[in-house]
Chains A and B, each alone.
Chain A
Amino acid sequence: MAVVTQAAPAGHEEDKELLISGSEAVAEALTLADLDVVTAYPIRPYDTVMQAIAKKISGGQLVAEYIVAEGEHSQFEIVKHASTVGARVFCGSSGVGWMYAMECLVVTPPLRVPMVALVGNRALDDPGAFGVEHNDALVVRDVGWLLCWIDTSQEALDTTLIAYRVAEDRRVFLPLAISADGAFLTHSQALTMVPPKSKVDQFLPRYNRGDLLLHPDNPITVAPQANEDWVIEIRRQNNEAMARAVGVIEEAYADFRRVFGRGPENPWFEEYMTDDAEVILVGMGTISLPIKVAIREMRAKGRKVGLVRLRWFRPFPTEKLVAALSKASALGIIDRDYSFGSPFGSGVVANEIRAALYNADRRPPLLSFICGLGGREVTLEDVYKATDLCYAAAKAGKSDPKTHWLGVRE
């Protein structure tokens, strides 16, 4: 019998290239990941992902229980419970919406629920503002959420697939929040390679709740009252899961590169022109764009400046980051967040890096900057000013620990 047509063998299907926003890229990844339960509630800017998912559901590309909740508290509780019976789940929020769900956010890690959430970073009320600030996602930095920041639509898609692989790994079983800067990424379109399902299936196994499955065939009691008898052991287990996540993340990125033929070798942070850099600037998210443009301008004038864009905040890549940063003559940490009353009044990232460097053999002068709050544009002038201050500190061999606010009306 003559073979007239032949389906392409699995693994040989091509990626397709789409012009999509960060939120739409996440929705593409969720479709490929065969999501089971998703809950939506409106708040800008993250909700564009739910609009994109709703179209996937109504169009039939994605078969999932799609529930519009009556508030973020329920939104997160519904998927938390769906996950305990074995469903792959997705959720998300922004700003004060994320805060409204706070109770549900803190119970998810000790329950070892591998929920994946998108935080469309947004300034907290009051006063109302739609623009980006990182304080919303950062509030869960101490309670067991894996936290990462993304920069492009491609990274949004790829990181979503990696997120399920990492969170649902039995060695981890922790929730994971992907942070995307409101408007700058959630709403901005870019060409994005969307892989075929066959490749995703090679990379991402089915979620297996294992012996934690809540089902009549496995009649366990989950989260009984433990008090001082056991709580500290449970916290310790959470801490160990977070520590194990380091290796699991590295495995996942390596495997991602093997299957998809793209993605970074270093999962933890992107280094831009740092090889010979005298001054290294550090930031998270889409702030990389103005910084990279400024670096190119400054390098044309002979200033050796580089950028470290931090992807993973929890687990915090302490050793790798110290190795990358301690070689510079001065560091400038640009926070798109604040931490009022903190040491030196610095932002969260600056103080984390200060702590990470404490035991380093070489500690370059470190300057702390707060910039771009409420979604204010980070300008080239802001970056030049930060760099000038870093060079002055490098020359002096020390830095004043005070925090500099950039681009603020005085």
Chain B
Amino acid sequence: MAETTTFSNATQILEPFRGVKRVTIEEYFTSGHRTCQGCESALVMKLMVKASGPRTIVLGSTGCMYVANTTYYTTPWVVPWMHTQLGSSGSAALGTAAGLKALMRKGKMKSEPINVIAFCGDGGGADMGLGAISATLTHKEYNSLILLYDNESYANTDIQLSGMTPYGANTTFSPPGKVKRLIHTRWKKNMAGLMAAGHPECRYVATVCASYAVEMMNKVRRALTIGGPTFIHSLDPCPKGWDYDPMLSHELGELAIETGIFPLYEVEDGQVKYYGKTKAIVEGRARKPVREYLLKQGRFAHFLEEDLEYFQAKVDEMWEKWEIPAVVPFRRLDATKAALAPK
């Protein structure tokens, strides 16, 4: 029988949790890790596999969620877990899914939908592993989720800047000095927008923040059940890298949303849907000033008023100038806009 290039992408059935009290009690990421106090990324790991359930394989690329998380003889992972190289989260997801698919369609393994999740940090995902993730998001025959936990630096190797480190932040590769106050003057990559805009056949891209845990788990569930490759970008406050009291992790996550610096949304089959306080901002609620977020963190302690103003202006631009606010940074020429406007 001739085959077409499209196969049915059977997935598990994972209904959204209707409220925090209905979340399952079982844990698949437990004790044994040695992450920092207040580590939001460890919480992301826990919520991620809580959402996916036990029939899941997790691949973890190098980063703090490998090194601090998975020590020989004390693994916190209840589900099968495997290390992959720093730039390999995309390839790990694709290879694992392809291996399972081959064995199941050839009758060499019992056929069942197994969730495949590969996670990467901002360095592994948005810097080194971008090409492999991009490739995987075009392979629609293979079901997988790539989850980028973004703590905005190479936090495992001593807090060096990545392509996802915010403008001006103090890292060990961008220490403020007498001559140069700001070493790092690049604006952060727009990863979720990049993934959604660049991969027309990727059916689901979302942003999450563990401060909103139920929403986050439900987005993981949607990503695992829609079929094909999917991508989630999680913003994870990091007490060590951002230099704040560990008790503020949850609050800083909220402030990132409320200031409009990090929007919560999903793009499902090309449709943008905003969530929570981001949705309120889109509908007209005022954003909190970025200084409320930035000045709670030691990594911005060297900021002068002009730096805060620059940062605020860039964030304002995301909301006021971008064609799809905070998602796609394209701007139409006014003339084009007029011509395209409904008569």
Expressed in whole angstroms, the minimum distance between the Cβ of A141 and any Cβ of chain B is: 21
A67-B94, A67-B98, A104-B85 are contacts. A216–B56 as well, Cβ < 8 Å?
A: yes
Expressed in whole angstroms, the minimum distance between the Cβ of B112 and any Cβ of chain A is: 9
Is there a chain B Cβ closer than 8 Å to A103's Cβ?
Answer: yes
Is A85 within 8 A of B135, CB to CB? no
Most chain A CB within a 10 A radius of its CB, from B81, B102, B105, B139: B102
Interface residues of A in 60-77 (CB under 8 A from B): 60, 63-65, 67, 69-71, 73-74, 77
Q: Mark B82-94, 1 if CB is under 8 A from A, else 0.
A: 1111011011101
Closest to A82 in B: B99
Is there a chain A Cβ closer than 8 Å to B103's Cβ?
Answer: yes
Most chain A CB within a 10 A radius of its CB, from B2, B57, B90, B103: B103
Is there a chain B Cβ closer than 8 Å to A186's Cβ?
Answer: no
Closest to A79 in B: B95
A74-B91, A78-B94, A82-B96 are contacts. A103–B102 as well, Cβ < 8 Å?
A: no
Q: For residue B108, which residues in chain A have a CB less than 8 angstroms away from its CB?
A: 36, 86, 206
Is A70 within 8 A of B134, CB to CB? yes
- CB < 8 Å neighbour of B95 from A81, A206, A225: A81
Closest to A85 in B: B99
Expressed in whole angstroms, the minimum distance between the Cβ of B256 and any Cβ of chain A is: 29
Interface residues of A in 185-214 (CB under 8 A from B): 206, 214
A219 to B54, CA, bound (A): 9
Is B88 within 8 A of A214, CB to CB? no
- CB < 8 Å neighbour of B72 from A34, A81, A229: A229
A77-B84, A77-B88, A87-B99 are contacts. A224–B71 as well, Cβ < 8 Å?
A: yes
Is A73 within 8 A of B87, CB to CB? yes
Expressed in whole angstroms, the minimum distance between the Cβ of A337 and any Cβ of chain B is: 27
Most chain A CB within a 10 A radius of its CB, from B84, B96, B99: B99
Total chain B interface residues with beta-carbon distance under 8 A: 47
Is A37 within 8 A of B91, CB to CB? no
A227 to B102, CA, bound (A): 35
Is there a chain A Cβ closer than 8 Å to B70's Cβ?
Answer: yes
Is B87 within 8 A of A214, CB to CB? no
Q: For residue B59, which residues in chain A have a CB less than 8 angstroms away from its CB?
A: 81
A85 to B80, CA, bound (A): 11
Is A84 within 8 A of B102, CB to CB? no
Q: For residue A37, which residues in chain B have a CB less than 8 angstroms away from its CB?
A: 95, 98-99, 102
Is A214 within 8 A of B72, CB to CB? no
A69 to B102, CA, bound (A): 17
A78 to B90, CA, bound (A): 9
Is there a chain B Cβ closer than 8 Å to A215's Cβ?
Answer: yes
Is A221 within 8 A of B77, CB to CB? yes
Q: For residue A65, which residues in chain B have a CB less than 8 angstroms away from its CB?
A: 98-99, 101-102
Q: Mark A18-32, 1 if CB is under 8 A from B, else 0.
A: 000000000000000
A82-B102, A216-B54 are contacts. A77–B91 as well, Cβ < 8 Å?
A: yes
- CB < 8 Å neighbour of A224 from B54, B72, B91, B98: B72
- CB < 8 Å neighbour of B132 from A36, A70, A87: A70
Is there a chain B Cβ closer than 8 Å to A122's Cβ?
Answer: no
Is A214 within 8 A of B96, CB to CB? yes
Expressed in whole angstroms, the minimum distance between the Cβ of A350 and any Cβ of chain B is: 34
A200 to B87, CA, bound (A): 38
Expressed in whole angstroms, the minimum distance between the Cβ of B42 and any Cβ of chain A is: 15
Is there a chain A Cβ closer than 8 Å to B100's Cβ?
Answer: yes
A36-B108, A65-B98, A214-B80 are contacts. A225–B87 as well, Cβ < 8 Å?
A: no
Q: Mark A210-245, 1 if CB is under 8 A from B, else 0.
A: 000011101111111111011000000000000000
Interface residues of B in 1-49 (CB under 8 A from A): 2-3
A77-B92, A103-B85 are contacts. A83–B99 as well, Cβ < 8 Å?
A: yes
A206 to B109, CA, bound (A): 12
Is B131 within 8 A of A81, CB to CB? no
Q: Mark B62-83, 1 if CB is under 8 A from A, else 0.
A: 0000110011110101111111
Expressed in whole angstroms, the minimum distance between the Cβ of A390 and any Cβ of chain B is: 46
A89 to B91, CA, bound (A): 14
Is there a chain B Cβ closer than 8 Å to A107's Cβ?
Answer: yes
Expressed in whole angstroms, the minimum distance between the Cβ of A74 and any Cβ of chain B is: 4
Closest to B70 in A: A224
- CB < 8 Å neighbour of A222 from B81, B90, B101, B105: B81
Expressed in whole angstroms, the minimum distance between the Cβ of A218 and any Cβ of chain B is: 7
Is there a chain A Cβ closer than 8 Å to B337's Cβ?
Answer: no
Expressed in whole angstroms, the minimum distance between the Cβ of A334 and any Cβ of chain B is: 37
A64-B102, A230-B72 are contacts. A77–B85 as well, Cβ < 8 Å?
A: yes
Is there a chain B Cβ closer than 8 Å to A80's Cβ?
Answer: yes
Expressed in whole angstroms, the minimum distance between the Cβ of A224 and any Cβ of chain B is: 4
Closest to B76 in A: A221
Q: For residue B72, which residues in chain A have a CB less than 8 angstroms away from its CB?
A: 224-227, 229-230
A71 to B114, CA, bound (A): 27
A191 to B7, CA, bound (A): 38
Q: For residue B180, which residues in chain A have a CB less than 8 angstroms away from its CB?
A: none
- CB < 8 Å neighbour of B67 from A84, A215, A222, A225: A225
Interface residues of B in 132-150 (CB under 8 A from A): 132, 134-135, 139
Q: List 22 A-B contacts (CB under 8 A).
A: A36-B103, A63-B106, A74-B94, A77-B92, A81-B59, A81-B92, A82-B95, A85-B99, A85-B100, A85-B103, A206-B108, A214-B80, A215-B80, A216-B54, A216-B56, A216-B79, A219-B79, A220-B81, A221-B70, A221-B75, A222-B80, A222-B82
Q: Hey, which bits of chain B sit against chain A, CB under 8 A?
A: 2-3, 54-57, 59, 66-67, 70-73, 75, 77-85, 87-88, 90-92, 94-96, 98-103, 105-106, 108-109, 114, 131-132, 134-135, 139
Q: A77-B84, A223-B82 are in contact. List 17 more A-B contacts (CB 8 A).
A: A64-B102, A65-B101, A70-B131, A70-B134, A73-B87, A74-B88, A74-B91, A78-B98, A81-B91, A82-B95, A82-B99, A85-B100, A87-B98, A214-B80, A214-B96, A225-B66, A226-B72
Closest 9 CB pairs of A and B: A81-B95, A82-B99, A77-B91, A78-B95, A87-B99, A221-B75, A223-B83, A222-B82, A70-B135
